[in-house]
Structure formats: structure tokens, C-alpha cells
Structure 1
Amino acid sequence: MPPRATDACRAAVLGKPIAHSLSPVLHRAAYDALGLTAWSYDRFEVDEAGLPGFFEELGPQWAGLSLTMPLKRAVIPLLDEISETAASVDAVNTVVFTEDGSRIGDNTDIPGMVAALREHGIEQVDSAAILGAGATASSALAALARICTGEVVAYVRSEARAAEMREWGERLDVDVRTADWADAGQALRAPLVIATTPAGTTDALAAAVPERPATLFDVLYDPWPTELAARWSMFGGAVVSGLDLLVHQAVLQVERMTGRSPAPLEAMRRAGEKALAER
């Protein structure tokens, strides 16, 4: 079912906290480049308890929503349908409202990760390491299911998190081995390292970056660069940033919500870089 196709449409990003979100900057840049002058994109602070009420207030002018934490799983019961990609990780970051009123959930984080890696020349790896666990790590694992042919080692802080990552591996058909966070320095020798942890968590690992590192995908974008990413670049390694991910997943959201393709990736990237530089 195609997205709504009226001249004037609304979209927004929801989450809590939400003031930091770059999504309005990226989507508005896309609308400008596409000539969608009547489209608007806002941000609203909404938590799990407030989400059903927010949906009830939405009118026919709404084209779609972007969702961030803590709403990616809470939204699922409110939807009529979700994509296979979203179902694979029980997480929806995109909702499209169709002309017949249906609410369709999707996940653009996973293909966004794959697209960001491919933009940096990473089409396939024979092994990889993930730093961290949780929702972002499960999305990273789902992305690796598409490009990694061998073992993925997840470095985590507890046995509960380790068990969770192994379960995700079984579900996504990925060969996952878990290791203790105390040994996370060993992860940095992998062909691809995906850091999914909060700001500051990997700072202590910067000293362990090998002399010839391969590729680091650090999902953070503010502050940037992280100490790990800066050290990685200093030693000549390739770095994929959280902004790369944010832009690529937003490109897919714009295409799904507007029905216009391709979305203006470079215009969106420039807008994101400018906004970050001004912070």
C-alpha cells in the first residue's frame, strides 16, 4: 500500500528525550530539496504511556512518524502491520500512514547500517565484533546477518546481556559468541567493529587500537569524534560515524513517507553536518 499522496502532509519524530534529535534537520532538508514546500516535520516528546493518546489525536494530514527510544517496541501494538525487517528485531523506528488509514511499521536502522557500511566500501566481512548489547546491538546484529559470513563476537558486561545476544544470534541465524567487556580491547582487531554503547563507554579502549586497524562503525554522532574514533582515524583505520547511519536511515524514511525516490542523501548529510557544527 503506497503512502498518502496529498499536497500538504505532516511528519514528526517522537521519543523521550527528543530535544537533541537531528531528524527534523534531515527531513526538512529533504523536503526542501524535493520541492515539498507544504510538508512539515516536527519533534514531540512522548513516552510509552503517552503514545496511544498521541496516535488517537493524529488527523488525515499525517504521512508518517520517526520513533526513537523508548518507543520502538511500545508502538508495535498500535500498528496494523509491520515489515519483516522490523519483526526480526521487534523494533519499529518508522511508521507510514497510508491513504486507507493503515498504520505500517518498518525499521530503517538495519538497512541504514548496511547502506552506511557499503558507502564506505564494506560489502562483506568474514567476521565482526560488537561492543555492547541492547536494542542498537540487536539491530547491528541484524545488519551483520546480511554482510557477515562468519562469527560475530559480542563484548558485554553481564551474563544476562550475553544470553540476550546469543538468543538474538539464534533468531537472526548469526553465529554469535559472547565475551566479557574486560576483554573488549581484543575486539579492535576484528575486520569490522561496531560500537553501540553510550557516550564515554569506549573511551578507555582508545589506547588499545592496533597499529593497522580495519573498520570502526561507531553509532554515536554527538559528541564527535569519540576518543575511540579519533584514535582509530589517527592510526589510518576507516571510520563510519553515527551521522552516516542517521542520514542513511532517514533517507529511507523520507522515501517511505513521501513516496519520492531517491531521497537527497547529500543535501541531508550537509544539513546534518552543519547542525552538528553549530552545537
Structure 2
Amino acid sequence: MRRFGLIGCPLGHSASAAYFAAKFAREGITDCAYELYELPEIGALARLLADVPELCGFNVTIPYKREVMPLLDELSHDARMIGAVNCVRRTPEGRLTGHNTDIIGLRAALAELLGGDEPEHALVLGTGGASQAVQYALAERGIPFDLVSRDASKGNYTYDDLPCGVVEQSRLIVNASPVGTYPAVDAAPRIPYGYVTPGHYLLDLVYNPPLTQFLDFGRQRGAHILNGEVMFREQAEASWRIWNE
């Protein structure tokens, strides 16, 4: 049995195991399994690899997308440029290669959300591993952006000093933080939503719940909204291709 999985902490919100179980059933794949491996800290990865020698590849989620990088033998070009890993391939010899398939999902999500429009400026909420991929995707499209972080040393603004005018002028706002993820479904990034307009685009990388408070606030203001389902699906399929190269 070839095994695959997801490492991170916590994993109670994740739909990855259900997604791959459905994929395996739909495509008649009977020799593979996908499981959730919640690790209390990234150092536990070595024990997981020793205990599950048939683990051929795994996805990486919060909070380990950057922490896993020093433990890998090799990085793909995208992973190196982005500075984060969400997919690892393990060879039969045990070598670990890190990839970033989030960027593939983000390209698809931005294309679906924006269509032919190109906002003059974007606002990225969060500065973690997922945010790194968002920044890379926006740079590819030539869309300038500012970062909002809880830590003043990591972003252009904190949530406490974010000017209303920046929100108004940033027609694309991306929630690259975990805020609003199940079970904390009543939470939303603390930005002045009163300055969101029908000309705005709100993208939430969270897919559980499908309509986060962040997106609902945007919907109420008439903005175009998209959750993380497109990104989730596309990055999962890209991971599967990498594991089966």
C-alpha cells in the first residue's frame, strides 16, 4: 500500500483525506491511502518517516510550510523562490524534495476571481507560508501589494494601524491567514470592511467553512468573492502529479 498524507497542527478543519478518498474511489485507485498526521512540532517528522516507511509523499500545512524546509534534501524552483513548501515527495531511497503547489492553486483562483480585470493594488492579510505563495502569484501578475500582519516587523501595516484609504484603494484583498477557519467560524480579519466596494475582489484561502465571515462581509458590500476551494482542489491534483512522476 502506497501512503500519502498531510502534516500540520491542528488538522481538524482539513478536507484533504476526504478529497483523496473520493478521488481514489472515483478513479479506481485501490493501492493508495491518504491520512492526516497531526504533528505537535516539526521535529516529530523524523519519527513519522521512520514509523511509516511506505509514506511516498505528503502535503504540509500551517504552521510547518517554512519550518519543514531545513529538513528536506532538495527544493523545487518554485519552493525556493516562494520560501515555503506545501508538498513533499519521498523517493524509495528516502530523499525528500519540497515543492510548492499552492502557487498552482493560486493562479487558478486568481484567474477565476478576476477574469480579465487587473486591480491596481492588492492587500494581503497574513505573512505566513501561504502568504509567501500569494505574494509570488501577485508579483507574477504585476499587481503591487501591501502586507498586513499582527507583527509590525513583518508587514507594511498591523491590523491596528491599517488606514481605511488603503483598504478602499486595494481592490483585491486576500486573506492568507487562518482566521475564520473551522471551528472559529465567527472570526474575521480585523479590517475596515465599510471601505469595501462593489469594485473589490475578496479571495479567502480558507475553504472550511465555504462562506467565511471575511467573504460574507465582502458579499454584503457587493464585492466579488471566492473561497479557497479552487486553490485547494488544484494544489491537491498538482501534488498527486508530483508524487506519481
Q: Aligned partners of 1:72, 1:158: CA distance in 2, in Å?
A: 18
- The one-character-per-residue Cα deviations of 1:48-71 (angstroms, maximum 9, x if unpaired) are 121122122332x33211111232
- The one-character-per-residue Cα deviations of 1:44-95 (angstroms, maximum 9, x if unpaired) are 1112121122122332x33211111232233223322111111123321111
Assess if the C-alpha contact under 8 Å between 1:131 and 1:184 holds in 2: no
Query: Equivalent residues in 2 for 1:1-279 (5 A)?
Result: 8-46=1-39, 47-59=41-53, 61-122=54-115, 125=118, 126-147=120-141, 149-162=142-155, 178-181=156-159, 182-183=161-162, 185=164, 186-197=166-177, 198-199=179-180, 200-202=187-189, 205-210=192-197, 212-259=198-245
DSSP-derived class of the 1:21 partner: coil
Q: Aligned partners of 2:68, 2:116: CA distance in 1, in Å?
A: 32
- Normalising by the residue count of structure 2, what TM-score does the alignment of the two structures yield? 0.83
Q: Aligned partners of 1:184, 1:223: CA distance in 2, in Å?
A: 28
Instruction: Name the % identity.
Output: 26
Q: CA RMSD in A?
A: 2.4
DSSP-derived class of the 1:49 partner: helix
More helix by share: 1
How many aligned positions are there? 234
Assess if the C-alpha contact under 8 Å between 1:13 and 1:66 holds in 2: yes
Note the residue ranges of structure 1 that are not aligned, 5 or more in a row: 1-7, 163-177, 260-279
CA displacement at 1:187 relative to structure 2: 1.9
Q: Aligned partners of 1:151, 1:138: CA distance in 2, in Å?
A: 14
- Normalising by the residue count of structure 1, what TM-score does the alignment of the two structures yield? 0.74
Assess if the C-alpha contact under 8 Å between 1:117 and 1:123 holds in 2: no
User: Which residue does 2:183 correspond to in 1?
Assistant: none
Q: Aligned partners of 1:184, 1:157: CA distance in 2, in Å?
A: 15
Q: Which structure exhibits the higher relative contact order, with contacts defined as CA atoms closer than 8 Å and separated by 6 or more residues?
A: 1
Note the residue ranges of structure 2 that are not aligned, 5 or more in a row: 181-186
Whichever residue aligns with residue 216 of structure 1, its letter is: L
